[in-house]
Structures are given as structure tokens and as C-alpha cells.
Amino acid sequence: MEDKTKVLIVGAGFGGIALAKKLSRNKNFEVVLIDKHNYHTFQPLLYQVATGGLEPDSIAYPIRRIFRGHKNFHFRMAEVTKVLPEENTIETNIGKMDYDFLVLAMGSQSNFFNFETQKEQFMAMKTVPDALDMRSFIMQNLEKATVKMGNKHEQAIINMAIVGGGPTGVELAGSLAEMKHYVLPKDFPELDTSKLNIYLFEAAPRLLAAMSEDSSKASLKYLKKLGVHVYLNAMVSGYDGKNITLKSGEKFQSETVIWTAGVKGNVIEGINKKAIQAGNRMKVNRYNQIESHENIFAIGDVALMFTERYPKGHPQVAPTAIQHGEHLAKNLIRKMNGKQMLQFKYFDKGSMATVGRLKAVVDLPGYKFQGMFAWWVWMFVHLMSLVGFRNKVIAFFDWSYNYFTYDRPLGLIIRPFRRK
């Protein structure tokens, strides 16, 4: 394929997959997609894996299966360690690879801010292994609580806390609350689940800060109705593995503290340091080109594109990554045909979050609604967005089962989790 233009894509998230799909259909390109996992993860539903609503294979799909029949496509399971722009090559744990165009789509990781040195004490939720670790840890603590009834440390064992009131934190809090009410009393009849407290700490004055005021108020109402203890203007200032301390001085007991308070980009060594901006995101122009690197592009969470409408960059969500990837594919084809590349324009398709059974909030351009209809809309959009017909069918079956039985296949501790 020496006569083809070689495009290396690092990262099989929403942006990388969208770009590879479009570009690998063009006979003039050779597309190589690189990721340290051999599957694509539908991250918006990771919290359902963590709380037993779905199994991992419902939200993960093999990359090679996605691209069956794409003759100009190759996949390499590898981890990229360095970019060598002057040589048009990258270094990986399986050797060097050369490129004509390089696209960085590595996504993001949890941003622990001042707690970076203590991050092992928190539970993160960015990958399938993270979600499985969280599920195992929750179940291990519940099993532990059954043999420590009356022990002074019992409260810390069964309490659960979430730091961050964005969509992930709100959805996780709602799911844990439903688990407390409908699942645990059946599986742990000897455990007094009324003692199990679910805390949600948000440093801002309201939940879902990126969504409308109506959605914020509705989500708060739904969570309180489910029994979640929500604390606004509550910045976490300390955690020792058992006790959470707020900036106000208040203390709460919990061994299970889940961090959803922010993300930062995954950056690879070798990129011009001047291009790396706030949040570890790489500054790109309106064509997704990284500053000082003409043939290196960035898309998705790791890209920071400043525009008049989005002075802090586009939101780090799946629709942004998909639009970046599809637009860049068109631009690379135009560039190879000697045409001028077109500037990217983000189309905001709206935001949504579910807070539990028949409870959701949806903000669409020109429309805002909450409640049961919003929940059906949320479920339909997420179901249709899953990769693979099989995953759609299994997720629909699991959700239907959960809906009618108020139950979920929770409880298996396949691989016990131990903190490092």
C-alpha cells in the first residue's frame, strides 16, 4: 500500500471510530487504528455496568468486528509512548510506526486535581475495568458489613459517596439509590439497608452545571426523592480512606468514594508543549490541526478548539468527538484532492441525563423536558447509539427485565478488587 496515504489514529473512542469508518471507505487511504484495548467502549453507560444494570459485553464491542469488510483498515493493539514529529513516526510498545497524517484521539482520564497523589483511594469510572472494580468493591463491602453488624466501622463500610454532580455523578447516584431500595433488601435481608447513606458532593451551586436551570432543579428533586443526600457548594478538601472532609469542616464516613468531578486529556510525549493548554487538552485550529504540527491532528476530548461561541472549547462529550472525526475525514479527503479544508462548526444536539426509573432530564435545542417522557427519550437515544445489533438487543432485554422486576443481575464478585 505504498501508493496510499497512511493515516494513524490513536484511540478507538467515539472520535477515532467515526474518523476510521469514513476514511477507510476511501481507496486512497490506508487507515491504522491503534488502541491499548481491542474493543470500543460506550462510556455513557459505564455506570450501569458498575451498578449491575448491564454486563460489560453490552457496552463494549470488538474493534475488528466493527471494521469487517473495510479493506483499507488495520488495527493494532498497542500503547503509544511517544510522537516523533520530525520523523513522522510514533513509538509504541510493539515498535515504531510511520505516518503521513497522525490523528490523536486518546480521550480523557479522571482529573483528581489536588488529590492526584491520593487518587488510588478513590474509585474512578473511565473504563470497563474501572466499572467492574467498582461493582466488586461495592459488593465486597456489603458482604463485609453482614459480618460486622454493630461494629463502629460498619457505617464507613456501607456508605457510598460520589464527588462531582455532573451527568455521570447524577446518573450514578440515582442508580445506587435504586439498588439500595429495590435490590439489596432482597439479596441482603440480614443487612439494615436504611443505614446505607448515599452522598453526592458538588462544589458548584447546582447540579448539572452545563445543562439548563430547569434540568438542574429537576435532577435535585429526583435524587432527594430517592433518598440521596445532596450537598451543593460542597468542596471536598480531604479524604483518608474512611473519612471525607469538606472545606466547610463537615465530615462523612465512607470507604467507597467515587470520583466524577472532572477530566483531563490524555497527552502523549513529543507534542509541542505550547500546544498543551488547560485541562491537558491540545490546542487545535478550526481544522483540528495541532499548533506547530501541520500533519498532526487532535479530535474529541483531547482537542481544545477556541471559537466565539465556545471560548473554553467544545464540551467533552461523545457528539463532539463524533462530529470532529467525521469532519476531519472529509477534510483529509479534500486535502488529498488538492482542495481547501473546511472549518469545523459544532452542532449542539443537546444534553440529557437519567436519574432513575422514569426520571430523566433532557435539554434539546429549543426544547427542555423532564420526567417519564425524557426517560424514554434518553433510553431510545442510548440504545440506538450502542455499537452492534447484539448489544442493542441485550441492553434492551436487560432494561426491560429491570423495568418490570425492579431487579438487576447484581452480586457476582468475579475478580475481588484490592486497592494498590
State the pTM of this model.
0.92
**11 or 193, which is more confident?**
11
Q: Which of 172-176, 276-280, 367-371, 401-405 has the lowest mean pLDDT?
A: 401-405
Mean pLDDT of 104-130: 93
pLDDT per position as a tens digit, 318-362: 999 999 999 999 999 999 999 999 999 999 999 999 999 999 999
> Is a pLDDT exceeding 80 seen at residue 9?
yes
Band of pLDDT at residue 292, cut at 50, 70 and 90: confident
Q: What is the DSSP string of 220-265?
A: HHHHHHTT-EEESS--EEEE-SSEEEETTS-EEE-SEEEE-S-EEE
CB atoms within 10 A of CB 192: 12
> Do 134 and 125 contact (CB within 8 A), yes or no?
yes
Mean pLDDT of 234-247: 95
Q: Which of 176-190, 213-227, 392-406 has the lowest mean pLDDT?
A: 392-406
Cα(150)–Cα(394) distance, rounded to whole angstroms?
41
> Is a pLDDT exceeding 80 seen at residue 148?
no
pLDDT score at 420: 64
Nearest to 88 by CA among 76, 74, 102: 102
> Is a pLDDT exceeding 60 seen at residue 220?
yes
> Is a pLDDT exceeding 80 seen at residue 2?
no
pLDDT score at 217: 97
> Is a pLDDT exceeding 80 seen at residue 120?
yes
pLDDT score at 416: 83
Mean pLDDT over each residue of the chain, to the nearest integer: 93
Mean pLDDT of 204-223: 96
Cα(263)–Cα(112) distance, rounded to whole angstroms?
8
**401 or 256, which is more confident?**
256
CB atoms within 10 A of CB 198: 24
283: Cβ contacts below 8 Å, ≥ 6 apart? 275, 276, 277, 290, 291, 304, 305, 306
pLDDT score at 149: 63
**How far, rounded to the nearest angstrom, does the alpha carbon of residue 351 sit from its chain's CA centroid?**
14
65: Cβ contacts below 8 Å, ≥ 6 apart? 388
Cell of 75: 488495527
- Catalogue all structural domains in the chain, each as residue range(s) with its CATH number: 5-36+78-110+263-336 (3.50.50.60), 113-261 (3.50.50.100)
Active-site pick, 171, 178, 202, 255: 171
Q: Which residues pair with 131 in a beta bridge?
A: none
> Do 199 and 181 contact (CB within 8 A), yes or no?
no
As a whole-number percent, the residues of the chain with pLDDT over 70 amount to 98
Cβ contacts of 242-251, under 8 Å, gap ≥ 24: 242/153, 242/156, 243/156, 244/161, 244/199, 244/201, 246/201
> Is a pLDDT exceeding 60 seen at residue 141?
yes
Mean pLDDT of 124-130: 92
213 catalytic, yes or no?
Answer: no
pLDDT score at 406: 81
pLDDT score at 153: 60
Rounded to the nearest 10°, the torsion over CA 324, 326, 327, 332 is 110
